Amino acid sequence: MDKPEAPSPPIADGPTSSPAVNPAFRNAVAVLAVLALALLLWQLRPVLLLLFAAALVAIVLDALARVIQKRTNMPHAPALAISSLTIFGGVGSVVWLFGAELAAQGNELAALIPGGWDALSDRFGEERLNDMVERLTPTGGNIFSIVQSIVSFVSGMLTATMLAMLGGVFLAAHPQTYRNGFRLLLPKSWEARADETVHALGVALRRFMAGQVVSMLFVGTTIYIGLHAIGAPSPLALGVIAAVLGFIPVIGPLMAAAPGVLVGLTMGGDAIWQVILLYFVVQQIDGNLVNTIVMRHSVKIPPAVTMFALFAIGSVFGPASLILGGPITVLVFVLVRKIWIEDRLGKSVPD
């Protein structure tokens, strides 16, 4: 008698396992995703700069709030409120006290610069200077179009500054919220190192900003006092310009000296040499004494590295980014030290 056939196994109703994804296809998709992200970040360069500026404002507000907390033991929220009122109120008070005088001197300075340009043309030749300007502005232009571009640039920067200040308040109010959100985007194994790197960035940028504020106050005050003693017109406006442009390392002092030299050319006599000597002496004292003292605990970046970094930053993000060139250089320097030199190469870098 034949044995009955064994029943065949039931056919599963569920979906069958899908074949393994081709590793080459997966790698291609990953490369395309990275390229798409890079392209998106490239298009969002102005937004990234504004976000970084807001982060710098938050660092300044948080630093002062920490000092207030340390002295009074009050919670973070009221300390931050006092910090914001102190900084923004101080800036508003200065504008209220000196705004009218500064505006008047700014208009006077704008009227004097063409005369200084004419005097410079008489000394070195108008054709030679025009050729130099054409090289700096390939689209064609003169000193008046350059001044107009500067005015438009300053107007845009004022708007960006207001947005950065507002964003900085939001970032400083709840820093842990944004830090936790950033950690969620990272693999779990990276979180500890990311926290350490973010902390190092905060310390480096905080020290850099504190040192730059001291340096800017020194340069602006001494330039104002020196020009006032020489008898130069618009000393307050020129002092403010020197202080603001002093935030840009290496090339900022040269940019700040340009309007002062043009004004000195309109004064006649030996005034031009007194103005040049004043800017030279102040910048030497600031670079070799003030910066040495106030930046001794900050990140040490060689001047040549800073200069080429500024050119690279300006090429990528545009001329407006030069105002943030110093902090961006510090940011990149710390990231390279932490992620590449210490993590990948296993080398230690002394602070």
Residue pLDDT, tens place only, 250-298: 788 888 888 888 888 888 777 888 988 999 999 888 888 887 777 776 7
The predicted model gives 61-69 an average pLDDT of 88
Residues contacting residue 212 through CB under 8 Å, at least 6 positions apart:
246, 247, 326
- Establish if 169 belongs to a structural domain: yes
Contact yes or no for 219/242 (Cβ under 8 A):
yes
The predicted model gives 115-123 an average pLDDT of 68
Question: 255: domain range?
Answer: 47-344
Assess whether pLDDT exceeds 80 at residue 348: no
- Establish if 198 belongs to a structural domain: yes
Q: What percent of the chain has pLDDT over 90?
A: 5
- Establish if 32 belongs to a structural domain: no
Residue pLDDT, tens place only, 160-206: 888 888 888 888 888 888 888 888 888 888 888 888 888 888 888 88
Other Cβ atoms less than 10 A from the Cβ of 235: the count is: 21
Assess whether pLDDT exceeds 50 at residue 138: no
Residue pLDDT, tens place only, 289-340: 887 777 776 777 777 888 888 888 888 888 778 888 889 888 888 888 888 8
- Establish if 311 belongs to a structural domain: yes
pLDDT at 198: 86
CA distance 289 to 324: 23
- Establish if 146 belongs to a structural domain: yes
Domain count, the chain: 1
**Overall pTM > 0.85:** no
Q: What percent of the chain has pLDDT over 70?
A: 80
More confident residue, 311 or 3: 311
- Establish if 349 belongs to a structural domain: no
- Establish if 98 belongs to a structural domain: yes
- Establish if 109 belongs to a structural domain: yes
Mean model confidence pLDDT for the chain: 79
Q: Would you place residue 95 in the very low, low, confident or very high pLDDT band (cuts 50, 70, 90)? A: confident
Q: Which residues of 291-321 are buried (b: 16+ CB within 10 A; e: fewer)?
A: beebbeebbebeeeebeebbeebeeebeeeb
The predicted model gives 53-68 an average pLDDT of 89
Contact yes or no for 239/224 (Cβ under 8 A):
yes
